[in-house]
A and B are shown apart, each in its own frame.
Chain A
């Protein structure tokens, strides 16, 4: 909220400069986000009085004025018609600057002009250039016009927290400054009604006392709608409020000053002199001040007359009852509407105004609304004429006024950790207008002022004490606690380990948004009915919770490819979201990685080696093994649409389905304009982390030497090396220690549909050194078995 320093000074003497004040406000909980200096668009303009006006001898349209500034009299040539002798006017003397132009002594049609009289337009404070700005009669000459008009000011932009609606006004901030600088407010904050006001027959019917506990109205007759006085216009504009007409400006002015939104109705539009505060009927409509036709629901609180709605209570007036140029008689409204109701209406209508903002946070439910209406009435009287009737104040309840609260000093100590005695608490609270009396038992009975609607419990008082004392007054202490065992959670330490392994193998961790484009999901065939959508997404790109990490990773690959980084190893360890069969929302942590492009980014002798599936398979196996899971196998799976139909495998850990590994479907590469094949694994991390890990026990080394025998053969391309190895192991698991594939070859010299496979078998016994003969016996069995099991020829 914007606050004017000079306006605050109407209510308080401030002895420190604006920047020091800003710092103090910030440290007391009113965070000053910005301090800006307002400067006039001109300089060197002073007030002067016109002594005489004579016709210019050589020009019909011009006149010659003698203008007095202090003891000096200047001759000025002027073209405006609205000036009279004895008028006070702004005079730009030679050396003054008006909208960037320097004023000089000049000769106009043979007559010397020692300056220039100014209009509001020339001063940059209005758009009226037809006439000179006429200043009030009672001012001295020689005043700096910028100072006089209040054009030099400091504007604070303060972040008012939602609990402090009492600070949404100049007086509210002034009160706060008074409290923190421990200096009194200049008293005349409260306004007494004008005793001359007569009664008026007006019927106020509050049908929803739950939503409107108090409604004050005042009728003012004989007003003349016109421009606002310049000083008011300048103040409103300095805080970002556009000037409309004197009456409307005054309601805004009083709202800014006192925090109480007011509304002015054209009295003649009110049927039967009756104000009804009621809920809207279903289907009821109102055209609001902004010209919108608004359909209302039955929860909306309305200000109506006996026939029709006049305003959306607390939010915006109706255009049919608004004050216009022809208005002569007005009804001023100053009311208390319940915050939740106004907030609901404002949300439903998607209409937030200065008024609704204050009501939904909670205006002062006490007598401030009367002070505000009287203040407005007196301003109207002086700026728009007319005479007021007595204010009609209808009170339904006082339930919003803060209650009496008991404050215990031992509780203050228990929460704040510092002894603050009863007397000190009383003094501190007194500074923010809280009256209190001491109880015999040592407690304080505190009465918060009505504007502190946020103070309703003991803890609220404790907060105020801490705030007024200053947070820096509390020491920094470490709690004394009972020891207890704290270790990093198993899942988190596994996650860290997995990330480290991937990092050490060249993988970059990415973090993608959890929401994704439904269009992108469609590319992957993931646009199924188990998706979770966001009701109010910011964009289509972020409208669905991702059911898989893959689309995000592929988008990362695409993004980096477009930036000429096509060789990529990335992974993500994060949640995916979907609904299961019973529509329950599932959050599932996944570990997905993909790689594509060159194997080495800095190779000078293997520069064109491309990554392949076995690079990624090795990483996946490394991770799984390091977690103490020995049993990894690959299964045929129901191939997801996004995987290569012939190169995609289910990943089984200890026989449990944990994810998949393979190559991304070339169609997707094509759609996303990615040239190299992409290899991908996706592991259900929740499942992976929960799989029982093998305990590690020391095994003594083998005592007897091993001997290797190689064997190579052609075999049908479809036969898996793993199957061959499994079969060999069954022949003699006591003496066959290990089997490795050491060569795989297809192509020249190999029959079509076959591959050449070479295995190295390691023979060893735990009991003795095997003889050549013993080994040959087993090896022959191996060859025989392979020949019969697989249609192959050992070479």
Chain B
């Protein structure tokens, strides 16, 4: 179910240039402003006469780019930090744990908002800000796994056979983290996409004229009375994407984690 929803969004993003009937940014005509959904413009037009359907299709690209890039960076950095901290302990662990706790001391979006305030709006900055708040969750998860695996006998056996730390980490510790990582990254992607749309909605994220779903909603808010379709459709897009990722994440967890089975 989640995979179907997500697949639809991915296809939309991938084939946006061919599916979109109009150019999402350049095509605009003030005479067509605020047209309700109809034959010419399937999902209506915005305040300066841009086709909403085309903008939504290209918006899928922005959302997925943010989701993938943020989780990519977060998983890479978080895994590395978590592995080192959990496996070696000591000073490394202290520093990593301090950084993780530090980030967790900022509730939710706050650190991302503060970072955006400093960096200024823009797609790359959104990715930087969200990656900054996403990696500690991954690091904490991997650290826990690494701590658990480190004590197991097959690691001791590998070490007794003379394996180097790097080899043990890659061959023995890392594979044990893959399943929970996959779940965390899927759910994290949902969070990142939701956060991007929230930042853009507040005017701190992706800037116009680029079609981010969040900023489209933020703009549409001013036309809630005159043109409710401007807030309805971007919202549906966000909801469908997030729902798809969350369902997929929950599904993955049920499949990959036998402990969770039955308790559902």
Chains A and B form a bound pair:
no
